[in-house]
Amino acid sequence: MTTILNTLEAPPRYIPNDPRPSLIGMTRDALADALAKAGVPEKQRRMRAGQIWHWIYHRGVQSFAEMSNIAKELRQRLDEEFVIGRPEIVTEQVSNDGTRKWLLKLAPDERGARHEVEMVYIPEADRGTLCISSQVGCTLTCTFCHTGTQKLVRNLTANEIVAQVMTARDGVKDWPSDIEANPTPPLGGRYITNVVLMGMGEPLYNFDNVKDAMEIVSDGEGISLSKRRITLSTSGVVPEIPRAGAEIGTMLAISLHGTTDEIRDKLVPLNKKYPIKELLAACRKYPGLSNARRITFEYVMLKGVNDSPEDAKRLVKLLAGIPAKINLIPFNPWPGTQYECSDWDTIERFAEIVNKAGYASPVRTPRGRDIMAACGQLKSESQKIRAKERLALEAH
Ligand code: SF4
């Protein structure tokens, strides 16, 4: 049964019309510049930036008042100039399998609009994966994906991407002080062990913000999640793949889903621009690729569309020579979809062919289907604002 833990009645964490910028999501350099604007003398800036970084990202504090090794006067000044709060939680749902989904309401953007995004936490025996969003909506229209039916509203800022990780850490009590106080701490000392950029949006169409956000999330003096535990999933924005490897440096996942251009054109229309051959050529050149650093290929199992033994054989041939892992995803239905999930026997037969060829091909157990939190099911009510509405908002 689904449990809704929070609703809009929960106290809002956002102060209406608050003009103060957030320090969350600023790179270390940007943080030092912000401190300069707050009047911190140059000689102290680096040290103060380090202290504030530690409080925000290592300890997870939500107010400057808690930063006890910073002089009271500076704390007050920081509080006048900046915020370090979190987005508003509209709902937090817990699936009967323990999966959690949060609907977050973002602070107003420059047009005054407050959009919503979803993120999902999936606890498993050996890991806890947080799936975060990089855009509100998506420009791409992958036909098996619920988010694809929601037009792109806007890119998320680095602040909004990092704040998802921080909000989830609050929610599952994953900050070091929570873990120390926990009589039965999780294996490896954390609940969130992995982050995947597989929620709403195409991360490579929001490159700079994703890059800054992942730099912050992986910083060893803060949240400190290794880039080997962060996976960026792309539908195949070929020109950005080498840059992603060189500049973002996380693990890579490809939403493949089809083994011929004819099928993939239908499932992932971006394929018409960057066909399978070009996509796989970019994968072969992904920096640092090795057996210890494999690319994950995601393959959603759609009945009668891409699930035949011939598809499995073609898949194996296509990936020859690429250190790869294949994630078979039983299709998670959503209202209005034209697809059905493949039968279990068909999925097993497909997995067997792929396994025999030497590829690890775990079949991803559907998680959180009862709360529409499973892969490809995310969507928020935020709509692209029309020019007329924007003008009306700006006039207020
Ligand atoms: S699968 Fe990813 S890229 Fe494709 S529509 Fe959904 S969110 Fe966008």
- Domains of the chain: residue spans and CATH: 21-81 (1.10.150.530), 88-371 (3.20.20.70)
CA 170 to centroid of ligand 1, rounded, Å: 27
What pLDDT does 391 receive?
42
What pLDDT does 104 receive?
94
Q: How far apart are CA 95 and CA 1, in angstroms?
A: 7
% of the chain exceeding 90 in pLDDT: 73
Ligand 1 site-directed mutation target among 133, 147, 297, most atoms within 8 Å of CB: 147
CA 262 to centroid of ligand 1, rounded, Å: 18
pLDDT for 219-236, tens place per residue? 999 999 999 999 999 999
Average pLDDT, the chain: 89
Rounded to 5°, angle at Cα 63 from 62 and 69: 115
pLDDT for 20-71, tens place per residue? 999 999 999 999 999 998 899 999 999 999 999 999 999 999 999 999 999 9
pLDDT for 57-91, tens place per residue? 999 999 999 999 999 999 999 999 999 989 999 99
Query: Would you place residue 4 in the very low, low, confident or very high pLDDT band (cuts 50, 70, 90)?
Result: very low
Atom from ligand 1 closest to the CA of residue 148: 5
What residues pair up with 138 in beta bridges, in sequence order? none
Average pLDDT over residues 193-208: 95
pLDDT at 264 over 90: yes
Nearest Cα residue to atom 3 of ligand 1: 202
Ligand 1 site-directed mutation target among 140, 268, 299, most atoms within 8 Å of CB: 140
For helices 42-53 and 28-37, angle between their N-to-C axes, nearest 10 degrees: 130
What pLDDT does 382 receive?
65
Ligand 1 binding residues, C-beta < 6 A: 138, 140-142, 145, 147-148, 200-202, 235, 255
Among 295, 283, 292, residue whose Cα is nearest residue 240: 283
pLDDT for 159-191, tens place per residue? 999 999 999 999 999 999 999 999 999 988 999
Unique residue bearing structure tokens 């102060």:
15
pLDDT at 345 over 70: yes
What pLDDT does 258 receive?
98
List the structure tokens of 98.
């323990």
For helices 207-218 and 158-172, angle between their N-to-C axes, nearest 10 degrees: 40
Atom from ligand 1 closest to the CA of residue 201: 7
What pLDDT does 8 receive?
36
Q: How far apart are CA 164 and CA 126, in angstroms?
A: 22
% of the chain exceeding 70 in pLDDT: 90
Q: How far apart are CA 331 and CA 139, in angstroms?
A: 21
pLDDT for 125-138, tens place per residue? 899 999 999 999 88
CA 266 to centroid of ligand 1, rounded, Å: 13
Residues 6+ apart with CB under 8 A from 167: 86, 87, 89, 102, 104, 119
The secondary structure of 123-192, three-state, reads ECCCCEEEECCCEECCCCCCCCCCHHHCCCCEECCHHHHHHHHHHHHHHHCCCHHHHHHCCCCCHHHCCC
Nearest Cα residue to atom 4 of ligand 1: 142
List the structure tokens of 384.
């692209």
Beta-strand pair 194-197/154-155: unpaired
What pLDDT does 19 receive?
82
Which residues carry out catalysis? 118, 375
Atom from ligand 1 closest to the CA of residue 235: 3
pLDDT at 388 over 60: no
What pLDDT does 188 receive?
86
What pLDDT does 13 receive?
55
What pLDDT does 67 receive?
95
What pLDDT does 85 receive?
85
CA 109 to centroid of ligand 1, rounded, Å: 23
Nearest Cα residue to atom 5 of ligand 1: 148
CA 44 to centroid of ligand 1, rounded, Å: 45
Query: Would you place residue 150 in the very low, low, confident or very high pLDDT band (cuts 50, 70, 90)?
Result: confident
What pLDDT does 372 receive?
76
Neighbouring CB atoms inside 10 A of 126's CB total 7
List the structure tokens of 337.
């979809």
CA 145 to centroid of ligand 1, rounded, Å: 6
> pTM here?
0.90
SS3 265: helix
What pLDDT does 384 receive?
54
What pLDDT does 165 receive?
98
How far lies 311's CA from each of 290, 321, 358, 363, in Å? 25, 18, 16, 16
pLDDT for 277-334, tens place per residue? 999 999 999 998 998 899 999 999 999 999 999 999 999 999 999 999 999 999 988 8
List the structure tokens of 168.
């989830």
Among 179, 182, 209, 180, residue whose Cα is nearest residue 197: 209
Average pLDDT over residues 340-357: 96
Atom from ligand 1 closest to the CA of residue 138: 8
